[in-house]
Structure 1
Amino acid sequence: MTNAMARLLALPLFALALIGAAPPETRFDISLPAALSDDASGRLLLFAAPLSADNGESEDIDIYGPDDARIFVAGRDVASFGPDRTVSIDAEEGAFPKGFATLAPGDYRVQVVLDRDGDYNYGGRGPGDLVSKVVTLHLPLGARPSIALDHRLPPVAGQFDVTGLPPRAAEQITASRPHLHDEQVVSKALTRFRGTPQSVAAWVLTPPGYDPNGRVTYPTVYTAGAFGTNHRVDGQQLSRIWHLMETKAIPPMIWVTLDFASPTGTTEFADSVNNGPWGEALTREIIPALESRYRMDARPSGRFLTGHSSGGWFALWAMVRYPAFFGGSWASSPDPVDFRHFIGVDLYQPGANMYRDAQGVARPLERAHGAVKTTIAQAAGIETVLGRDGGQLRSFDWTFSPRRADGTPAPLFDRVTGAVDAQVAAYWRDNYDIGHRIETQWPRLRHDLDGKVHVVVGTADSYYLDGAVHDLEDAFRKVGGRAEFIYVPGASHSINEVYARDGDRNAYYREMAQAMYAVARPSGATGGR
């Protein structure tokens, strides 16, 4: 290739138009074989990655985060493939991190996915999605290529399929299985809100020696996972708790994992004008239903909360929102608990912007070993391409924001400019800012909340969540409230790092379980009640 040709290919589309050169082809025709489906709809995603030695044999091309700079993706909504069973997608429009016309000339591996249920932003491709084979194409395109969707992704393996897992993890999951109970609790409150039957999934782990017909009852711990978890993952994660109880590292209690995943993200079990009355469902329906089915203490001093990341926010919110209902909360690395430090942004600052600070510097979203991996603008960009709902930033809107006339949540910030909507931010503050709630409602909360809040976070949290935890600690200090705050030096967002002490990754499990048990059994007696 001559230098002149290379320079021509590097020119943006508008420059090519000015000099009269035809812009490169960026459209792809995507076909739906009759043998695969009569018709289909969903979010069509086109992925591309430069061909290299380490991906030449890879089965899939996918993007695992906005910091994955080698992957390019374009998306569009598809209502139908029509009579000719073909739709087109322009990879110059709705693309991340940039349109395909700007890519360096070379060979690229390309794959197409039709996300059928709109949850790619939350869990990626999954059962029922339609996927093409990976093909190699040379960019810029000389002609409009055609790619056929090739197969439908099958249902996931069984809940307790341990194929490919490390031996220790497989052993723990298998051992916990007889003690795990799969529950679906019907919610009349959510059903009224949605207009269709709604239920909430939960796994209930009973302790060694549990007798469903006995008289002994047990303290109960309610927990929720991080963003991206689902009911299947929740059950597997309880295997660690079973191992700790079986080896008597922690006291015997009942543990319940609650599934708060939805197509819009995580609901956090917070009452919301967009997601519905999840808090009401939790305290008035789900927990009472489980207490009627299992030998639980069924009293405030026997109900505890814990969770990590999004689950950590849930554990704190439920404690502050229903302080007389629970006996204590142990939250780790919670999502922003004070919106003066919302991923490092003070939402109440006049002229607040999610993308850039006052000096115009790009605001980071994720860090690792002191280096920025992802900016907030990049995260918002990839969420926009992958789908309208389900991403972490959009999930916050669905939970915290007021509802617009069209039935969608008002966005906290403009996805193009990053400008924060001050009215939306004020709504967030008045309804969901936990630090603000402590400062303004402490006289009402003190009697039932004082001493019940425990928070642990790493000083190098990957998403800068330690800043909001410091703000929450300041709020408690300002009102004279008692709460425990632990900052783990150098720990990132990883639960294994936050829970570890002197190389023991289960140390905090033991610490918080013993503290919970001391509340439920102040006499010091072991076993159930």
Structure 2
Amino acid sequence: MTRFLLLPLPLLALTGATLPETRFDISLPDALGNDASGRLLLFASPLSADNSNSEDVDLNGPDDAPIFLAGRDVASFGQDHTVTIDAQEEAFPKGLAALSPGEYRVQVVLDRDGGYNYGGRGEGDLVSRTVTLRFPLDARPSIALDHELPPAAAQFDVTGLPPRAAEQILASQPHLHDERVLSTALTRFRGTPQSLAAWVLTPPGYDPHGRITFPTVYTTGAFGSNHRLDGQMLSRIWHLMEIKAMPPMIWVTLDFSSPTGTTEFADSMNNGPWGEALTKEIIPYLESRYRMDARPSGRFLTGHSSGGWFALWAMVRYPAFFGGSWPSSPDPVDFRAFIGVDIYQRGANMYRDGNGTPRPLERAHGRVRMTIEEAARIETVLGHNGGQLRSFDWTFSPRRADGTPASLFDRVTGAIDPDVAAYWRDHYDIGHRIETDWSRLRHDLDGKVHVAVGTADSYYLDGAVHRLEAAFRKVGGRAHFLYVPGASHSINEVYARDGDRNAYYREMALGMYAVARPAVAQPRR
């Protein structure tokens, strides 16, 4: 899940006054090319001591920093290398004319590949310098795009990192292997060659020519993760295995990011057969190249947030293929509590409850930081695809005649489409699957599910986990549920015990190893 900060907007009193200027002319200097296209985004935030010297104005700025956002599609900058964005039209929270008077820091970004909704600014995006303007505007400002964002630093570039983190990353480097796996199933679906990226971390004592095999853990990142970040995550795992805090296993991070968000490795009408690719192509390919224990008792799943949903879904969808799953803070696993909303309730609405109260999306320290409606509107301004809520549609929804996914809810009114909700229930609701299909699942799934979540999860995901636990109890299934008191959605909070942020890594790894190697003495903590 993702977080954005919002701008409270008292209405500007305009009665009898001339409407202020809301348009900006954005120019493309010759140094940045003859033309460009993409999603043009304008950010503004009130000038303050915190941002007066900052280089960027962005959604993920200092805590509680209010933000204004406007966007439009740009097909071309034309012969004069200039386009106009009207910040009164596609804007959040409201049009520019509603902003309170004062000085604002303003910056413009051309999102050239449509990736902002997923991972923010990235390689190739064009960015202006930050300027200070006084609102309301009395004339149309001109802002020039100034520079192109460079490629991300090399995978093992540790410049600026804390010494301990840098040391761990460099130590893991010789044991980290970059793989690209061609998928016939996804190639057939897309019509063009499709490959999936993975990092394979081999443990201490690994001999590629030896006879010893190792249990293997498959994991994915949270929403917004990518292949580069996945590799860095494994440096912590290497360190824990190196100091013998965790048993020696092979760890594999799988990149499930796409232009539409995360695919969750679920077979989908819109994203394609990702589950088929995982179980029939990716894992068999990796098992042919590495000394992996290729038995179900040697394959394990874990992940956090969106990665947690993947880990649970793959376990329930392919219970005979994996030996166990340890998801943490998973995205909604029971759609009767989908971000706090029962999507099956008659007349259900994503934006407001039956009393008309706005439904929250994110909380922190007992207060609501964002509503579902606000998050949906931000996604709409940022672009057409890639956001968290639209990512759910791409994964869970049926496909419309125009090739796009049907929306669970109307983005203007919040009204839930009951037909789409029924499709989600029948195909992807894990709690529903446990309740209705347990007789078939019991033999291969019983006792294999271990879920951890904070009792103060930032996105109310603990509610869906409680529902899932109730589903297991209802059918008499064995599953382990851990509720970490006071923990938010942060992986560091969910995994920490008594100040040790790696405690749950050790806990789950020892549990996996006990399944894969029951006769081997467990390493001491």
TM-score (norm 2): 0.96
The amino acid across from 1:11 in the alignment is A
- Residue 327 of structure 1: which of 304, 323, 326 is its match? 323
Q: Deviations over 1:385-406 (max 9, x none)?
A: 1111111111101100111111
Report what 1:198 is aligned to: 194
Question: What is the rounded CA distance, in whole Å, between the counterparts of 2:242 and 2:62 in structure 1?
Answer: 41
Q: Deviations over 1:43-66 (max 9, x none)?
A: 000111122222111101111289
Q: Deviations over 1:504-525 (max 9, x none)?
A: 2111111111111111112125
Question: What is the rounded CA distance, in whole Å, between the counterparts of 1:10 and 1:379 in structure 2?
Answer: 24
2:80 is paired with a residue whose SS is coil
Report what 2:446 is aligned to: 450
- Residue 427 of structure 1: which of 386, 403, 423 is its match? 423
- Residue 58 of structure 2: which of 40, 58, 62 is its match? 62
Contact 2:103 2:132 in 1 (8 A): yes
Question: What is the rounded CA distance, in whole Å, between the counterparts of 1:162 and 1:443 in structure 2?
Answer: 51
Aligned CA distance change for structure 1 residues 280 and 67 (closer, same or farther; 3 Å): farther
Report what 1:10 is aligned to: 12
Shift of 1:526: 7.0
Contact 2:50 2:62 in 1 (8 A): no
The answer as to 2:335 corresponding to 1:339 is: yes
Contact 2:514 2:522 in 1 (8 A): no
Q: Write the mapping of 1:12-411 to structure 2, written as runs, cut at 5 A.
A: 12=14, 15=15, 19=16, 21-64=17-60, 70-411=66-407
Q: Deviations over 1:323-343 (max 9, x none)?
A: 010000001010000000000
The amino acid across from 1:282 in the alignment is L
Report what 2:479 is aligned to: 483
Contact 1:319 1:326 in 2 (8 A): yes
- Residue 466 of structure 1: which of 462, 469, 493 is its match? 462
Question: What is the rounded CA distance, in whole Å, between the counterparts of 1:314 and 1:501 in structure 2?
Answer: 25
Question: What is the rounded CA distance, in whole Å, between the counterparts of 2:335 and 2:39 in structure 1?
Answer: 32
Q: Deviations over 1:239-264 (max 9, x none)?
A: 11101100101110000000001111
Question: What is the rounded CA distance, in whole Å, between the counterparts of 1:214 and 1:10 in structure 2?
Answer: 73
Q: Deviations over 1:402-443 (max 9, x none)?
A: 111111111111111111111111000000000000111111
Question: What is the rounded CA distance, in whole Å, between the counterparts of 2:328 and 2:477 in structure 1?
Answer: 19
- Residue 502 of structure 1: which of 493, 498, 503 is its match? 498
Moved more, 498-507 or 278-287: 498-507
Contact 1:459 1:466 in 2 (8 A): yes
Question: What is the rounded CA distance, in whole Å, between the counterparts of 1:329 and 1:70 in structure 2?
Answer: 39
Aligned CA distance change for structure 1 residues 116 and 152 (closer, same or farther; 3 Å): same
Moved more, 316-325 or 414-423: 414-423
Shift of 1:205: 0.4
The amino acid across from 1:327 in the alignment is G
Question: What is the rounded CA distance, in whole Å, between the counterparts of 2:358 and 2:167 in structure 1?
Answer: 46
The amino acid across from 1:427 in the alignment is Y
Moved more, 368-377 or 342-351: 368-377
The amino acid across from 2:12 in the alignment is A
Deviation >6 Å, runs of 4+:
none
The amino acid across from 1:46 in the alignment is L
Moved more, 103-112 or 208-217: 103-112
1:291 is paired with a residue whose SS is helix
Shift of 1:126: 0.7
Report what 1:6 is aligned to: none
2:237 is paired with a residue whose SS is helix
Question: What is the rounded CA distance, in whole Å, between the counterparts of 1:457 and 1:231 in structure 2?
Answer: 25
The amino acid across from 1:490 in the alignment is G
Shift of 1:379: 0.7
Aligned CA distance change for structure 1 residues 54 and 526 (closer, same or farther; 3 Å): closer
Report what 1:5 is aligned to: none
Contact 1:67 1:373 in 2 (8 A): no
Shift of 1:67: 8.4
Contact 1:66 1:382 in 2 (8 A): no
The number of residue pairs the alignment matches comes to: 513
Contact 2:450 2:481 in 1 (8 A): yes
Contact 1:226 1:308 in 2 (8 A): yes
Contact 2:329 2:454 in 1 (8 A): yes
Question: What is the rounded CA distance, in whole Å, between the counterparts of 2:64 and 2:280 in structure 1?
Answer: 43
Question: What is the rounded CA distance, in whole Å, between the counterparts of 2:408 and 2:428 in structure 1?
Answer: 13
Report what 2:6 is aligned to: none
The amino acid across from 2:223 in the alignment is F
Contact 1:66 1:374 in 2 (8 A): no
Question: What is the rounded CA distance, in whole Å, between the counterparts of 2:102 and 2:488 in structure 1?
Answer: 38
Contact 1:66 1:379 in 2 (8 A): no
Question: What is the rounded CA distance, in whole Å, between the counterparts of 2:63 and 2:332 in structure 1?
Answer: 21
Question: What is the rounded CA distance, in whole Å, between the counterparts of 1:404 and 1:218 in structure 2?
Answer: 44
Q: What value does the CA root-mean-square deviation take over the aligned residues?
A: 1.4
Q: Deviations over 1:217-255 (max 9, x none)?
A: 100000011111111110011111101100101110000
The amino acid across from 1:236 in the alignment is Q
Aligned CA distance change for structure 1 residues 69 and 55 (closer, same or farther; 3 Å): closer
Aligned CA distance change for structure 1 residues 424 and 513 (closer, same or farther; 3 Å): same
The amino acid across from 1:87 in the alignment is V
Contact 1:222 1:258 in 2 (8 A): yes
Aligned-residue sequence identity (percent) comes to: 82
Shift of 1:22: 3.0
2:127 is paired with a residue whose SS is strand
Report what 1:4 is aligned to: none
Question: What is the rounded CA distance, in whole Å, between the counterparts of 2:434 and 2:355 in structure 1?
Answer: 32
Question: What is the rounded CA distance, in whole Å, between the counterparts of 2:416 and 2:91 in structure 1?
Answer: 24
Question: What is the rounded CA distance, in whole Å, between the counterparts of 1:143 and 1:26 in structure 2?
Answer: 9
Q: Deviations over 1:89-115 (max 9, x none)?
A: 000011111111111222222111000
